[in-house]
A and B are shown apart, each in its own frame.
Chain A
Amino acid sequence: MLNKILEIHNLHISFKTFGGEVQAVRGVNLDLYEGETLAIVGESGCGKSVTASSIMRLIPTPPGQIKEGSILFKGQDMTKCSDKKMRGIRGVDISMIFQDPMTALNPTLTVGDQLTEGLRQHRRVTKKEADAQAVDMLNLVGIPNPDERMKQYPYQFSGGMRQRIVIAMALICEPELLIADEPTTALDVTIQAQILQLFNKIQKETGVSIILITHDLGVVAKVADRIAVMYAGKVVETGTRREIFYEPQHPYTKGLLHSVPRLDQKGEKLIPIDGTPPDLFSPPEGCPFTARCPAAMEVCSRIYPYSTVRSETHEVDCWLQDERAEKYSATIQS
């Protein structure tokens, strides 16, 4: 845990739709240190993908808009970069991997062409050098016969192979930050495991920082150093993997962990979180989890809780952390 490579402060992102303005991200604070893997977890629509895309300014504007806040990548504010400068950062300093490898590759271009085009755009290399580097990259991600494979088209590869190519493509310019948006969701479980191992290997070899977006806690447990739990456009709890899995504080985090099936506890029923997330057209004033929270108090619906710092790495936004909360929660439960 050395230097911060990325600092997101009070980020607000909205999307204008015909129905009104959706406040997808509502004041997110996140830090990422060099060489670590941060997992952002949360259910669909909680703003995790939007937050990640905004780092590279890949949100379609309009309708999307960064309303407020800053995204500092190595001290430079991404929200204020020119488009041209942004293009120089994309793929070079920050790379992104998308969810579905079946659609993330252009079906009409060879794999080799797609692998090298980023390199040729950003670095002064000949086609030969670029090809050689691409072959090295394919070797790194574990694709056999890379020389031959370079000339093939995406349809000639399986899903897992394609995701390896997508990863190779993201890493070819040696970025310092890799954002992986649900990189294993579209893959079957055995391939998932291989891809996650690959992430670990790559991080060890290149020292790249990774932001991993997922709703799969199994994936998180395998690769994340730290975890940020998002709910309704806010980060409600951050902590190390150990802290989140063994000492979850936020009722939502607890709820998420309860709803994961476990192999070691036979016959136990899953406990789902009742209800649905709030409508982000008009998000609630207080804690957005109030309506679904088993320990909700009066104050929860009115004022958003302040952050409670439990350790150097563990932060929670919940009124239950307040000293005065205990007697209230006792009365609620009885």
Chain B
Amino acid sequence: MVTYILKRLVYMIVTVFIIATLTFFLMNLIPGSPFNEERTTNAAVQQNLEEHYHLNEPLAVQYILYLKSIITLDFGPSIKQPTETVNSLLGRGFPISAELGIWTVLIALVSGVALGVFAALKHNHLIDYMAMTIAVLGISIPNFVLATMLIQQLAVQLEWLPAATWSSPAHMVLPVLALATGPMAIIARLTRSSMLETLTQDYIKTARAKGLSPYKVVVKHALKNALMPVVTIMGTLLAGILTGTFVIEKIFAIPGMGKYFVEGINQRDYPVIMGTTVFYSAFLVFMLFLVDIAYGFLDPRIKLHKEGGSS
């Protein structure tokens, strides 16, 4: 197990390194620079600024400086907001984004699995059709459309919930709802089909023949097996939710990490772009690692380590 984790750790570092490198060169391919604006500044001032941020150095030197900043975990000051460092932006934005993300994952997972299980248990009944209609809608409506619709209906028309910003639990409802519906729908469909398949397995018949209660048969015997595909796509879904937060945070004016990320790109704020990208990719790679670990817990046949074999 320990060897496995160490091995994965090396892979994770390599992955993040490749992403960071790609981002750096792609970013430099984008025309423009932080000081290239409509309002032209004095040439001398601009040169001073570039020197200050090492933007006049050759690309290779910049790249090495950048790698150094990653290793030391200090991404330096933001160019556009000189009073802030990238680290302070991340420190402020991440808890908010994390809160949004965690609620989204929780709600998508719980309601998606519940919807899928009920649909499978009531296969070809009204509940099944209703659940699958919701799921199809959820998959086909993009979250930014859903977000604006929710704001229009629940915030503007009915005035039940606040339309934007992030301060109380009530403020969270709409963004989480908008962000969670898509993943929830995918999880629901997957759980349903996987559950339908699992319920026809012989070991379910065995469990019923033991006289177990329907709850035990479904939750203990069927669900644990049916969740395997759900865990498999959790990695992809997490990536989806992560990128979804950019859009949702923008729409709901949530001061999370996504907001700084998008602003950073728009303003060519190089340190902010690099910092957020590396942070995001490191986070995602770590989440995927957790998903793989969860796999091993759900199904004992999946071995995370090579030592020892079946007897």
- Please measure, in the bound complex, the distance between the C-alpha atom of A170 and the C-alpha atom of B205, giving whole angstroms: 12
- Contact among B212, B301, B311 for A117, CB-based, below 8 A: B212
A109-B220 CB under 8 A given contacts A90-B210, A169-B210: yes
- Contact among A56, A89, A90, A108 for B298, CB-based, below 8 A: A108
Q: Which of B5-46 contact A (CB under 8 A)?
A: none
- Contact among B201, B206, B211, B300 for A153, CB-based, below 8 A: B300
Return chain B residues, CB-CB under 8 Å to A16: none
- Decide: A106 and B209 in contact? CB cutoff 8 A: no
- Please measure, in the bound complex, the distance between the C-alpha atom of A169 and the C-alpha atom of B310, giving whole angstroms: 22
- Decide: A121 and B225 in contact? CB cutoff 8 A: no
User: B80 interface residue, CB < 8 Å from A?
Assistant: no
Candidate in B203, B213, B301 with the most chain A CB atoms within 10 angstroms: B203
Return chain B residues, CB-CB under 8 Å to A121: 210-213, 216
- Decide: B203 and A105 in contact? CB cutoff 8 A: yes
- Contact among A104, A110, A156 for B310, CB-based, below 8 A: A156
- Contact among A89, A98, A99, A152 for B211, CB-based, below 8 A: A89
- Decide: B202 and A100 in contact? CB cutoff 8 A: yes
**Shortest distance from the beta carbon of B119 to any chain A beta carbon, whole Å:** 17
- Decide: A106 and B207 in contact? CB cutoff 8 A: yes
- Please measure, in the bound complex, the distance between the C-alpha atom of A105 and the C-alpha atom of B207, giving whole angstroms: 9
Q: Which of B196-246 contact A (CB under 8 A)?
A: 201-203, 205-213, 216, 220-221, 224-225
**Shortest distance from the beta carbon of A326 to any chain B beta carbon, whole Å:** 47
Dominant secondary structure at the A interface: mixed
- Decide: B203 and A106 in contact? CB cutoff 8 A: yes
- Decide: A90 and B208 in contact? CB cutoff 8 A: yes
- Please measure, in the bound complex, the distance between the C-alpha atom of A317 and the C-alpha atom of B174, giving whole angstroms: 72
User: B84 interface residue, CB < 8 Å from A?
Assistant: no
- Decide: B221 and A109 in contact? CB cutoff 8 A: yes
Closest A residue to B203 by beta carbon equals: A106
User: A95 interface residue, CB < 8 Å from B?
Assistant: yes
Encoded as 1 (CB less than 8 Å from any B CB) or 0, chain A from 153 to 196 comes to 10110000000001001100000000000000000000000000
- Decide: A98 and B202 in contact? CB cutoff 8 A: yes
Return chain A residues, CB-CB under 8 Å to B207: 106
- Please measure, in the bound complex, the distance between the C-alpha atom of A105 and the C-alpha atom of B201, giving whole angstroms: 10
A91-B203 CB under 8 A given contacts A108-B224, A108-B225, A156-B310: no
**Shortest distance from the beta carbon of B46 to any chain A beta carbon, whole Å:** 64
Candidate in B205, B206, B212, B299 with the most chain A CB atoms within 10 angstroms: B206
**Shortest distance from the beta carbon of A146 to any chain B beta carbon, whole Å:** 14
**Shortest distance from the beta carbon of A95 to any chain B beta carbon, whole Å:** 7
**Shortest distance from the beta carbon of B223 to any chain A beta carbon, whole Å:** 10
Return chain A residues, CB-CB under 8 Å to B211: 86-92, 118, 121-122
- Contact among A87, A88, A98 for B205, CB-based, below 8 A: A98
User: A138 interface residue, CB < 8 Å from B?
Assistant: no
Return chain B residues, CB-CB under 8 Å to A105: 203, 206
- Decide: A155 and B210 in contact? CB cutoff 8 A: no
A107-B202 CB under 8 A given contacts A92-B211, A118-B212, A121-B211: no
Return chain A residues, CB-CB under 8 Å to B205: 58, 98, 104
- Decide: A108 and B201 in contact? CB cutoff 8 A: no
User: A96 interface residue, CB < 8 Å from B?
Assistant: yes
Encoded as 1 (CB less than 8 Å from any A CB) or 0, chain B from 45 to 80 comes to 000000000000000000000000000000000000
User: A103 interface residue, CB < 8 Å from B?
Assistant: yes
- Decide: B209 and A58 in contact? CB cutoff 8 A: yes
- Please measure, in the bound complex, the distance between the C-alpha atom of A120 and the C-alpha atom of B97, giving whole angstroms: 45
- 17 sampled A-B residue pairs with Cβ under 8 A: A58-B208, A86-B211, A87-B212, A87-B213, A91-B209, A91-B212, A92-B211, A98-B206, A100-B202, A105-B206, A106-B221, A107-B203, A107-B301, A117-B210, A117-B216, A155-B310, A169-B206
Q: A96-B206, A99-B202, A105-B203 known; 9 other A-B pairs, CB under 8 Å?
A: A86-B211, A90-B209, A96-B209, A106-B203, A107-B225, A107-B301, A108-B299, A155-B301, A166-B206
